[in-house]
């Protein structure tokens, strides 16, 4: 298959992509309030993975391994997954404003989270993450049901998503204003804007397989996504089983988004804008666009996490603030340059 504007050998492309990703991860572990040299990061990884036995400062090693590296890996997974979801939903719904939260998932997650955190549903058996996950899946199920009942077409899906999002956002606000104290309200606010602070290795064990599995499912359907260029009927006439592809891909994106939101909160902007940025870089063919978007999203999210930790000394900003604050001007630059080039 022809590779859009960038024409490069496939193997070297994959190797370059992996090198960039690992470099970003290493920087994510090195940069912070206490700067740690890159070679210490490398040695820590060698010690932990292969028992290399390099003598290291225990505190440095602990910071790198227990806090920063797990955090960077989850940030990468989250950025990759949200970007993939954005690419897939924009293609399937043929709407350039589609993002991973268009199906009501982040709204449902927030309702689930406040239900657990403030109303105490689950009587301490449910964590905030689990509550968010169930809320997200419940909202998605409701939105899908509504979309199916409303009839065919991508318009119905988007409208059902809007209705679902409004409903669950209202429920969240209702619970917060009625029952939360100031401290809880602030905590929820922080969570909603995205927060990687509590992330540890068990979260990696969840996020990594979901992100990789999601990437594989999407890549498997890359040609089908291409076939939607001229709409669903045209895709059908090209031999794509449209209904099955819709069900598989929309469920996959919903599941990916629900998992990521339940781990880190609903981080905005990435899933909407990284797909467009990736299209500017590599063109519209999904065989290349999907991995490119995943990589760009992963690196962008690691960078955003680094910034969120260092931009104000002694304070961690919600990562959602950074993704939009830095991402929006960056995207504006890409937009205007892309226009000048064409």
Partner 1 sequence: MSLKAETVSWSAGGRVIVDAVDLEVMPGEFLGIIGPNGSGKTSLISLLAGIRLPKSGSVSLEGRPFAKTTRRDIAQRIALVEQQAETTERITARQAVELGRTPHLGALSPWSISDTDIVDRALAHVGMSDFAGRMWHTLSGGERQRLHIARALAQQPQILLLDEPTNHLDIHHQIGLLELVRGQPLTVVAALHDLNHAAVFCDRIAVMDRGRIVALGTPTEILTEDRIFTVFGVAATVEHDEDGSCFVRYRRPRPKLHLISDTMKRHDYAR
Return residues touching partner 1 (CB under 8 A).
Answer: 1-2, 94, 96, 219-223, 226-227, 229-231, 233-234, 236-242, 279, 283-285, 342
- Minimum CB separation of residue 289 from partner 1 in Å reads 10
Nearest to 280 by CA among 221, 215, 219, 339: 339
Which of residues 199 and 227 has its CB atom nearest to partner 1 in the complex? 227
Q: Among residues 80 and 242, whose Cβ is nearest to partner 1?
A: 242
Q: What is the DSSP string of 283-342?
A: -S-HHHHHHHHHHHHHHHHHHHHHHHHHSBTTBPPPHHHHHHHHHHHHHHHHHHHHHHH-
Which among 218, 325, 254, 210 has a CA at the least distance from the CA of 101? 254
Taking the complex as a whole, the smallest distance from the CB of residue 226 to partner 1 amounts, in Å, to 6
CB of 281 to partner 1, least distance (A): 12
Establish how many alpha carbons lie within 13 A of residue 224's alpha carbon, considering only the half-sphere containing its beta carbon: 20
The minimum distance between CB 129 and partner 1, in angstroms, equals: 33
Quick one: CA torsion of 255, 257, 259, 262, rounded to 10 degrees?
-140
User: Could you tell me the smallest distance in angstroms from the CB atom of residue 302 to partner 1?
Assistant: 28
Nearer to partner 1, 48 or 223 (CB): 223
- DSSP classification of residue 33: S
Instruction: Kindly list the distances between the CA atom of residue 295 and the CA atoms of 10, 268, 298, 323, 333, in Å, as whole numbers in the listed order.
Output: 15, 17, 5, 16, 20
The nearer residue to partner 1, 137 or 282, going by C-beta atoms, is: 282
3-state helix, strand, coil in the chain (%, to 5): 75, 0, 20
Residue 312 has phi, psi (to 5 degrees) of -120, 110
CB-nearer residue toward partner 1: 122 or 338: 338
User: Nearest approach, Cβ of 16 to partner 1 (angstroms)?
Assistant: 20
Return the number of the residue (225 or 259) whose C-beta is nearest partner 1. Answer: 225
């Amino acid at each position: 298959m022809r590779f859009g504007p960038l024409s490069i050998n496939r193997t070297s492309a994959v190797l370059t992509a992996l090198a960039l990703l690992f470099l970003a991860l290493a920087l994510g572990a090195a940069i912070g309030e206490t700067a740690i040299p890159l070679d210490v990061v490398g040695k820590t990884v060698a010690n932990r993975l292969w028992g290399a036995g390099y003598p290291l400062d225990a505190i440095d090693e602990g910071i790198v391994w227990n806090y920063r590296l797990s955090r960077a890996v989850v940030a990468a997974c989250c950025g990759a997954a949200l970007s993939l979801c954005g690419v897939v939903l924009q293609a399937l719904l043929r709407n350039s404003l589609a993002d991973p939260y268009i199906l009501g998932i982040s709204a449902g997650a927030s309702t689930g989270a406040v239900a657990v955190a403030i109303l105490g549903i689950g009587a301490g058996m449910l964590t905030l993450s689990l509550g968010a996950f169930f809320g997200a899946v419940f909202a998605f199920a409701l939105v899908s049901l509504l979309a199916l009942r409303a009839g065919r077409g991508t318009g119905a899906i988007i409208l059902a998503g809007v209705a679902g999002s409004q409903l669950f956002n209202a429920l969240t606000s209702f619970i917060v204003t009625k029952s939360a104290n100031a401290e809880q309200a602030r905590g929820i606010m922080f969570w909603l804007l995205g927060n990687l602070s509590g992330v540890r290795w068990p979260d990696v064990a969840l996020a990594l397989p979901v992100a990789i599995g999601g990437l594989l499912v999407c890549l498997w359907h890359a040609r089908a996504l291409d076939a939607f260029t001229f709409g669903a009927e045209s895709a059908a006439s090209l031999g794509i089983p449209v209904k099955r592809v819709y069900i598989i891909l929309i469920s996959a994106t919903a599941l990916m988004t629900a998992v990521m939101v339940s781990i880190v909160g609903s981080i905005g902007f990435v899933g909407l804008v990284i797909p467009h940025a990736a299209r500017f870089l590599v063109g519209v063919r999904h065989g290349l666009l999907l991995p490119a978007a995943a990589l760009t999203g992963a690196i962008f999210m690691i960078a955003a996490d680094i910034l969120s930790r260092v931009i104000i000394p002694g304070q961690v900003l919600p990562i959602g603030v950074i993704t939009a604050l830095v991402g929006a001007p960056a995207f504006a630059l890409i937009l205007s340059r892309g226009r000048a080039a064409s």
